[in-house]
Amino acid sequence: MDLETFLGALSHLGDPLTLIVMVIATFVGIVVGALPGLGTVTALAMVLPFTFALSAPQAIGMLLAIYVSSIFGGAIPAVLINVPGTPQSAATTFDGYPMAQKGHADEALGWVTMASTIGGLFSGLVLIFAAPQLASLAIRFGSIETLALIIFSLTTIAWVSSGSTLKGLLAGVVGLVLSTVGIDSMSGVERFTFGNFALSAGLHAVPILIGLFALSEVFMSAGKKMVVADAIDHAGFKIAPFTAWWRLKRTLLRSSLIGTFLGVLPGIGATAASLLSYSRARAASPVRDRFGTGEPEGLVSSEVANNAVTGGALVPTLALGIPGDAATAVMMGALIIHGVTPGVQLFAHNPDLIAFIFVALLAANVMMFLAGALTTRLFTRILRIPHALIMGFVVALALAGSFVVRASILDVWIAVVAGMVGFLLRLANVPLAPIVIGFILGPSLETSLRQGLILTQMNPVRFFERPIASLIFAVTFLVVSWPLMRTVARRREMRREP
């Protein structure tokens, strides 16, 4: 990133409307993350329709602010009411609430706010240095190499399926089929429109995302009774002295590395990163016996790791177009809606926008810190809002957002149907992220496949004549066959045992 590109990114960030949008999005992200039952994916899906009135940099800045701040927001109820606002902050409850019960809620909120900022800034710097290097290799890709990469990207469906691989694959197929609805751009043939002219333009990503994540979450919450611990009253904000942070420098570095590394790996996620970081910190700490009683090192290890995942997860999303979880899949869909296609050509064709993403991610973490420091006193009141009232607001916002995308009542019905389907799939323990991944990658998969067949004169065997494509196909085969090989090896061992 040269100086001119960097200054251009700063000029976009310095635009008053961009700053206002990001500040508002930061507060919204913290609030949504702090309200149990919502979370990062729901927050991104809810605000997606509002980005249509913004320019691409403003929309991206808004989404990055939501992405970063909503993960941090989950730590606030974890400290104050012993309920993580998002699953990513589950490990924060182990020491956050005990510290608050001792009368140190202000210190606990100071620890988690600063730790979240450190983790986010660390991963942002890793994104700045790692993503361009990865993209410089990917820039050599043609249509066949792109096809191989997309097929490899579809293997992330297995990684985000949480043990239900077959269900995840079926959900991915559903997403691929949904992406074909409408008029075929190459042949002009209508597909799956059932004679409905409104469907000839295809399905839009926004109502599907809103229905699958926001509305299905509302339907799930309607059948649950929210039971929370007593809230800590009069919570303030207090940052520990520098000497206390310096004593935890090894934990800060280790947790940042764990979160960033696991963020780069598709399918791991911030929840696993925070739990792994917490367990490693406890194993290495000289005061491991105090973990679970309000130990600051436990808070730091959890919140640094789960926020470090954000920058790490954006590395494969931006450089290769590989979404590793539901949140990055929604982010990728939002970028595509605004004409920004993550993947092999993004860094070559949009260097100014890439530079803005780097700068905006760092700025979003700074805004998160300032917003957290200023608003923690308000959350003892916000967390007392009746859950039914919150969900009613989510429904109204979701339906309005579905309509404004194309001013079509059909999109509202699509969102409702997607919400009902998402609710049923959740009851059947079918993961929803594969549907989004299949829907987003479907058009690119079809286009690159057709282009590859044209280049090879309808002979797919010639795909393997390309060295890079052959390497990616081989890696994909290993990734897909590895679980099967492990199962076969395990059965052989069981047969050999007496």
CB atoms within 10 A of CB 304: 34
Residues with Cβ within 8 Å of 369's Cβ and at least 6 positions away in sequence, in order, are 113, 114, 116, 117
Whole-number pLDDT of residue 20: 92
pLDDT of residue 3: 65
Q: Determine the pLDDT at residue 421.
A: 92
DSSP string spanning 235-274?
Answer: ----PPPHHHHHHTHHHHHHHHHHHHHHHHSTT-HHHHHH
pLDDT digits (tens, 9 = 90+) for 461-496: 888 888 888 988 898 888 777 767 777 777 888 777
Calculate mean pLDDT across residues 274-292: 80
Chain centroid to Cα 280, Å, comes to 24
Read off the pLDDT band of 308 (50, 70, 90): confident
pLDDT tens column, 402-425: 787 677 888 889 989 998 998 998
The C-alpha angle with vertex 443 and arms to 439 and 449, in degrees rounded to 5, equals 130
CA distance 210 to 295: 39
**Residue that the structure tokens 């290890």 belong to:** 301
Tell me the per-residue pLDDT of 163-198, one tens digit each, with 9 for 90 and over: 567 787 888 889 889 988 888 877 778 888 887 877
What amino acid is encoded at 371 in this protein?
A
pLDDT at 267 over 60: no
pLDDT tens string 138-156: 666 678 887 887 787 777 6
Q: What is the pLDDT of residues 358-400, one digit of tens each?
A: 888 899 999 999 888 887 767 666 666 676 777 787 788 778 8
Question: Which tops the pLDDT comparison, 268 or 196?
Answer: 196
Six token digits for residue 118? 């450190």
- The full DSSP string for 150-191 is HHHHHTHHHHTSTT-HHHHHHHHHHHHHHHT-EE-TTT--EE
Amino acid 229: pLDDT: 47
Q: pLDDT digits over 220-234, tens only? A: 877 666 544 455 555
Neighbouring C-beta atoms of residue 396, cutoff 10 Å: 10
Of 275-289, 333-347, 422-436, which gets the smallest average pLDDT? 333-347
Higher pLDDT: 247 or 133? It is 247
pLDDT digit string, tens, across residues 113-128: 898 899 889 988 888 8
- The residues spanned by each domain of the chain are 3-465
